Chain A
Amino acid sequence: MRRAGVQPLLDDRQGRRAMVWIMAIMIFLTTLSAALGLSTRNAGATLDRQLAARLTVQVIEGDAATRDAETVRLLARLKASADVVRAAEVDRTRLAELLRPWLGEAGLDADLPMPAMIDVDLRSGDDAAVARVEALAKSVGPGIRVDRHATWLAPVRAFVGAIGWTALGLVLVMASATAAVVLLVARAGLDTHRGTIDILHMLGSTDLQIARLFQRRIGQDTLTGGAIGVLAGGLVVAALGERMATLDSQLVDGITLAPLDWAVVAVLPFAFTLLAMLAARVAVLRRLARVL
């Protein structure tokens, strides 16, 4: 029923600014939640890639000569294996340095039976490849132990996953809250514009025509607020990303948004606008169905 150049049927002067800012805040928070969820998902994927195919092999042998011999043989066989991309012994001096806080100078004592350690990068992190490397290691020496990095860092990975799920939950909570706000706004609007709606009914307006008036108005408010919210949220996320990049940490290396993730964030105001319009339509139609 709205035409260009014609005064809107619902008097729009009251309450719209508040609705725009409520929507801006909701979508700002949703943008932050979505960005957190997407970036932690990326971090999780990076961790998976980094950890799944990485092993540490420990040659635990009290006799130094035997240990050295086993280490050399094992290194040679690992490098020859089709499953292994890279195998390198961890520098023993560096190991001793790492242990110094716990063992003191004793860590540098040649008589201390320190295990030899070999870092191994596999072509694939699947269980079969790991099992083959374990079998290969056992064939060299029964005391050789193979540790998967993924096993050590499983709690970290689980924590990253939990953050991702929490962020997704927050996005859903914000969407539900937005729908609830729209329901309240639509109901309040129906009360405010009751006189006009009665006149429209009397003139033969259908419920759908009246619902469209509310849908359009709430859609415009949500889109305007959404644009403000997503812009502000995007700026905050971008600024945090810049700060994180300067940390130069392997752990936070993967916490970034890919171009596709930014596209998902940019779609949020439109998705929320559709949600708000749908909620307004349902609220108005349900209320109007109660009157003749």
Chain B
Amino acid sequence: MGDGPVEARAFVASIVQFENVGLRYGQGPETLSDVSFSLHAGTFHFLLGPSGAGKTSLLRLLYLSQRPSRGVIRLFGEDMVTSPRGRLPGFRRRIGVVFQDFRLVPHLSARDNIALPLRVAGMPEEDIAEPVGEMLAWVGLTDRADARPPTLSGGEQQRVAIARAVINRPEILVADEPTGNVDPDMAERLLKLFASLNRLGTTVVMATHDHHLLHRVPDARLMRLERGRLADPTGMLRYPPATP
């Protein structure tokens, strides 16, 4: 009884919970097996592992592009496995996603790509220009606002993608190898953007192969996937969640 309030607080602070999650594509073997962890709001996590370990699959589950074959996934305190399909867009708007291949809309300008989440959310047009301008300034692309993605460099495209991912002030930012297609200097600049966002309270989960980046975020926690299973030697990710 005495532990009740502490457990309740921990439950609320835990923004992501995976419990015995398994994922299988078709009739193939499980890509993810018995994955259990919890992430507290406002934390920064690097997701590591060799190619084929299941990092992208885990991130797809996180940004609700896929449902698991088994297990329970809770985001924002809600069960995503049993949640009706029609409710998912509302949850997706609370999650920002950045990809290695940027996934910008090629015929839209940088400005319109960044404005996309606001338009999807139904924000009035007159209210869009200001936050988009702020985002362009934040990622240092004010002078490239009208450029279309094919005319931007890899680093510029990735900054547009990051601006698009965070313009809605998401509670979770999921990044799948965001520095994979940029040079080391740009990779460090992008990481600083993620870290500054994390300081504002956004939970960041970033998959990377770049071990040089791991020490650039002092408070970051490491999640390691191997053959679809999550290694948690420190117990920091254990489920049920530990108190922060």
Contacts of A200 in B (CB 8 A): 116, 120
Chain B interfacial residues counted at CB < 8 A: 30
Given A3-B125, A7-B108, A292-B85, residue A202 in contact with residue B93 (CB < 8 A): no
Q: How far, in Å, is A188 (CB) from chain B's closest CB?
A: 18
Task: Say yes or no for B64: interface residue by CB 8 A criterion.
Answer: yes
- 20 residue pairs from A and B, CB less than 8 Å apart: A1-B119, A3-B119, A6-B119, A7-B108, A7-B112, A11-B106, A195-B105, A199-B105, A200-B116, A200-B120, A201-B65, A201-B89, A202-B92, A203-B164, A204-B91, A204-B92, A204-B93, A205-B89, A205-B120, A292-B88
Chain A interfacial residues counted at CB < 8 A: 21
Quick check: B108 and A9 within 8 Å, CB to CB? yes
Given A6-B112, A7-B112, A292-B66, residue A203 in contact with residue B105 (CB < 8 A): no
Given A199-B116, A209-B120, residue A204 in contact with residue B103 (CB < 8 A): no
Give the docked Cα–Cα distance between A3 and B122 (Å). 11
Quick check: A9 and B89 within 8 Å, CB to CB? no
Give the docked Cα–Cα distance between A225 and B116 (Å). 31
In-complex Cβ contact of B120 among A3, A7, A203, A292 (8 A): A203
* Residue of A199, A203, A292 with most chain B CB atoms under a 10 A cut-off: A203
Quick check: B116 and A292 within 8 Å, CB to CB? no
What 9 A-B pairs come out closest when comparing CB atoms? A204-B93, A204-B92, A11-B107, A204-B89, A3-B125, A206-B89, A1-B119, A203-B117, A203-B120
Give the docked Cα–Cα distance between A50 and B92 (Å). 71
Give the docked Cα–Cα distance between A202 and B116 (Å). 11
Task: Say yes or no for B121: interface residue by CB 8 A criterion.
Answer: yes
Give the docked Cα–Cα distance between A174 and B117 (Å). 40
Give the docked Cα–Cα distance between A289 and B85 (Å). 9
Which chain B residues in 156-180 approach chain A with CB under 8 Å? 164
In-complex Cβ contact of B65 among A6, A7, A289, A292 (8 A): A292
Task: Say yes or no for A192: interface residue by CB 8 A criterion.
Answer: no
Task: Say yes or no for B63: interface residue by CB 8 A criterion.
Answer: yes
Give the docked Cα–Cα distance between A199 and B97 (Å). 10
Quick check: A202 and B108 within 8 Å, CB to CB? no
Given A1-B120, A292-B66, residue A9 in contact with residue B93 (CB < 8 A): no
Contacts of A205 in B (CB 8 A): 89, 120
Contacts of A201 in B (CB 8 A): 65, 89, 92
Task: Say yes or no for B202: interface residue by CB 8 A criterion.
Answer: no
Which chain A residues in 245-292 approach chain B with CB under 8 Å? 289, 292
Task: Say yes or no for A196: interface residue by CB 8 A criterion.
Answer: yes
Contacts of A196 in B (CB 8 A): 105
Give the docked Cα–Cα distance between A205 and B91 (Å). 11
Give the docked Cα–Cα distance between A195 and B108 (Å). 13
Contacts of B112 in A (CB 8 A): 6-7
Q: How far, in Å, is A54 (CB) from chain B's closest CB?
A: 66
Task: Say yes or no for B235: interface residue by CB 8 A criterion.
Answer: no
Which chain A residues in 196-216 approach chain B with CB under 8 Å? 196, 198-206, 209
Contacts of B64 in A (CB 8 A): 292
Task: Say yes or no for B90: interface residue by CB 8 A criterion.
Answer: yes
Contacts of B117 in A (CB 8 A): 203-204
Quick check: A7 and B107 within 8 Å, CB to CB? yes
Quick check: B105 and A9 within 8 Å, CB to CB? yes
Q: How far, in Å, is B39 (CB) from chain A's closest CB?
A: 20
* Residue of A200, A202, A292 with most chain B CB atoms under a 10 A cut-off: A202
Task: Say yes or no for B109: interface residue by CB 8 A criterion.
Answer: yes
Contact digits for B117-160, partner A, Cβ 8 Å, 1 yes 0 no: 10111000100000000000000000000000000000000000
Contacts of B103 in A (CB 8 A): 195, 198-199, 202
Which chain B residues in 61-91 approach chain A with CB under 8 Å? 63-67, 85-86, 88-91
Give the docked Cα–Cα distance between A206 and B92 (Å). 10
Contacts of B85 in A (CB 8 A): 289, 292
